Structure 1
Amino acid sequence: MSTDAIQEARRQTEICNACRYCEGFCSVFPALTRQKAFADGDISHLANLCHNCRGCYYSCQYTEPHEFALNFPAALAEVRQESWERLAWPQPLARCFHQSGVLIAVVVAIAFAVAFGLTQMLRPASGDGFYAYLAHGALVAIFAPAFLLPLLSVGFSLRRYWHETNGGPLPWRDVIGGFRAAANLKNLNGGQGQGCNFEDEDRYTDTRRWLHQAVMYGFLLCFASTSSGTILHYMFDMQAPYGLFSLPKLLGIPGGVLLTIGTIGLGWLKTKADPKLGAVRVWGGEMAFIALLGATGATGLALYGATGTAAVPLLLAVHLGCVLAFFLLLPFSKMVHGFYRLTALISENQKTRDHQS
């Protein structure tokens, strides 16, 4: 399994482990100080713990022009990216998306939007709100497998990652600890509470952490909105459309706003940051993911705002096209980083506890 990216990351990890100047930084550094030798799986674990805040790079005395030429964030980013591609199922789709992400995301979203637009020519005989254009049964038949199959694919990938990084049986306290770390994104504060250096070298800021939280909680609110609508429909026979003060709207509107603001902000920060401190070859794929995720939230808000107008059929097709493209590409886009990082944080809780006992 050992690749050039893993070999380079191992070289830099061993130098960092000898220096230990950054020992107080994010979870990567306490993890690497537990051992002296690093197997391929150990490097993959460190890479997926890394949140690319870049504080270690700007604090390092061994970056170029020093002969050690350390660029630890970029080295881990390459291994992290490689692990998502190598462990993905099916693998060829992941490599294609990360190399041509913008083109693929645009083509897929437009193709699905056109398909949904054409489907509206077969309008149901009756139905309220969006169901006047697309039957509820048709939406379920399309989106249920489009949601479940990508999750199955991600599950296969994470299982392979868990075995590669020597994960063991999981006590609940390790799972809870991993979710807690993911919920507050503590690794985006540089490990010392002052923020990270992602976009402006020596300037510490929590902006990236806040924007990540906006995206994460915005997405979860949107998911909760859809889930609550499903429960209302099937368990209480309360069918859409729902009013402004209904649970789906109270969850979905703030979620869409947070998702849109967060993705715009992260895209903006990415244009300000030094691309050489990340995985340069997939910069376009990462931006495509951000754009697709943001478009999903923004078109949902636009669709709600256009309720009752002639713009609904067009906006409905565009929104559903974005949502379907997002879910189908989820296992192969950067969205998968959330699943891997959560798994790495859970594993780190386990490894830390085992080391201390």
Structure 2
Amino acid sequence: MQADLLQEARRQAEICNACRYCEGYCSVFPALHAERAFSDGDLTQLANLCHNCRGCYYACQYTAPHEFDLNLPRALAEVRQDSWEDFAFPRAGARAFQKSGVMIALATVLGFALMFWAARTLGSVGGEGFYAVLSHNAMVAIFLPAFVFPMLSIAISLRRYWRAVGAGPLRLAHLRTALVSAARMKNLSGGHGDGCNFEDEDRFSSARRLAHQAVMYGFLLCFASTSTATVMHYALAMPAPYPLWSLPKLLGLSGGVMMTLGCIEMIRLKRRADPALGAASALGGEIGFVGLLGFVGLSGLVLYALGQTALMPLLLALHLGAVLAFFLLTPFTKMAHGFYRLAALVVDAGR
């Protein structure tokens, strides 16, 4: 990790530790105030606990033009971003995506879409619906490795993180506490529950927390839809296509709507926020990831709406290309931050 980023974060953390005005704002400050000195691992843990709500910055009396020039949200954001790149496996993928996230996401989606469009010539024999374009076995052969790779990559990354912050043995009670906190997005609600100042200094809003929840729960619903369809196909001998009122369709459509709207709102909020309070160099990567995830949801909804038209093969190629790009790029995008954040909450629960 870059020593200058850690040194600046250490300087600011030491001043905050002496001041303690923001003690009740979020999980960062009780953890920060529990230390007298800050190792590189301590700073990495604090950075991944921070949700960049920015409330502490707007409340701080030591921001510029004060000589202390505190900007803790930016300092922690830069350490956090650098830690994700350093822990990623392989590291080169994360660094490349943060520099050119939008272009990489776009090129990957289009490249995979063209691959699926070409593969339709190998389509199934006598398949129905989407399987008339690409067989079920072909989809499994393509997407199973694409799912296993990011899980393996993220597992390696989390192991590196766990060692770097000096975490102890994983305990179920700590994991349960962290999952409850993540499900509620507690640290995005502000120290007093009125929301955070992400959009505007004087405006407390829960919009960012709600957008994150829409994306998270929308994604989980879509994953549940795929999992349910897998069980129905293999265990119950009920292959797709499924009717509208089937469980896979209900889960997938509701999840797709939530995920799409949540991503649109997150992009809107990011464009309204002050870039000087975050890791400005990572903005392209963040927009690229959120846009890719939103396109996965949107393309799935459009595919369902127009699945009985002549556009279906083209829409299916685009959707599958987006899904495959999303899975393969997950370890290098901000999608990985959810795993790091959960790990940080587990470590904090054991503090």
**TM surpasses 0.5:** yes
Q: CA deviation at 1:307?
A: 2.0
Is 2:37 aligned against 1:3? Answer: no
- Cα deviations across residues 211-266 of structure 1 (Å, max 9, x unaligned)? 10000000000000001000111100100001111110111000000000000000
User: How many Å separate the matches in 2 of 1:249 and 1:314?
Assistant: 21
Q: CA deviation at 1:2?
A: 6.0
User: How many Å separate the matches in 1 of 2:126 and 2:139?
Assistant: 15
Please state whether the residue corresponding to 1:242 is helix, strand or coil.
coil
User: How many Å separate the matches in 1 of 2:54 and 2:243?
Assistant: 45
> Which residue number in structure 2 is paired with residue 255 of structure 1?
255
Is 2:209 aligned against 1:206? Answer: no
Answer whether contact 1:2 1:40 (CA < 8 A) is retained: no
- Cα deviations across residues 115-159 of structure 1 (Å, max 9, x unaligned)? 111111222221011101001011000000000111100000000
User: How many Å separate the matches in 2 of 1:329 and 1:315?
Assistant: 21
Letter in 1 for 2:173: R
> Which residue number in structure 2 is paired with residue 320 of structure 1?
320
Is 2:289 aligned against 1:289? Answer: yes
User: How many Å separate the matches in 1 of 2:344 and 2:292?
Assistant: 25
> Which residue number in structure 2 is paired with residue 347 of structure 1?
347
Length-normalised TM-score, structure 2: 0.99
User: How many Å separate the matches in 2 of 1:105 and 1:307?
Assistant: 25
Instruction: Give the fraction of aligned pairs with identical amino acids, expressed as a percent.
Output: 60
Moved more, 75-84 or 113-122: 113-122
> Which residue number in structure 2 is paired with residue 30 of structure 1?
30
Consecutive aligned runs of 4 or more in structure 1 exceeding 2 Å deviation: none
> Which residue number in structure 1 is paired with residue 131 of structure 2?
131
User: How many Å separate the matches in 1 of 2:143 and 2:2?
Assistant: 38
User: How many Å separate the matches in 1 of 2:238 and 2:179?
Assistant: 33
Please state whether the residue corresponding to 2:17 is helix, strand or coil.
helix
Give the CA RMSD over aligned residues.
Answer: 0.7
Structure 1 unaligned regions, length at least 5:
352-357
Letter in 1 for 2:237: D
User: How many Å separate the matches in 2 of 1:202 and 1:37?
Assistant: 33
Answer whether contact 2:97 2:332 (CA < 8 A) is retained: yes
> Which residue number in structure 2 is paired with residue 273 of structure 1?
273
Structure 2 unaligned regions, length at least 5:
none
Length-normalised TM-score, structure 1: 0.97
- Cα deviations across residues 28-77 of structure 1 (Å, max 9, x unaligned)? 00100101101000000000000000000000001000011000000000
Moved more, 38-47 or 113-122: 113-122
Answer whether contact 2:2 2:82 (CA < 8 A) is retained: no
Q: CA deviation at 1:172?
A: 1.1
User: How many Å separate the matches in 1 of 2:192 and 2:161?
Assistant: 29
Q: State the aligned residue count.
A: 351
Q: CA deviation at 1:191?
A: 2.2
Please state whether the residue corresponding to 1:204 is helix, strand or coil.
strand
> Which residue number in structure 2 is paired with residue 63 of structure 1?
63
Please state whether the residue corresponding to 2:268 is helix, strand or coil.
helix
Please state whether the residue corresponding to 1:197 is helix, strand or coil.
strand
Please state whether the residue corresponding to 1:199 is helix, strand or coil.
strand
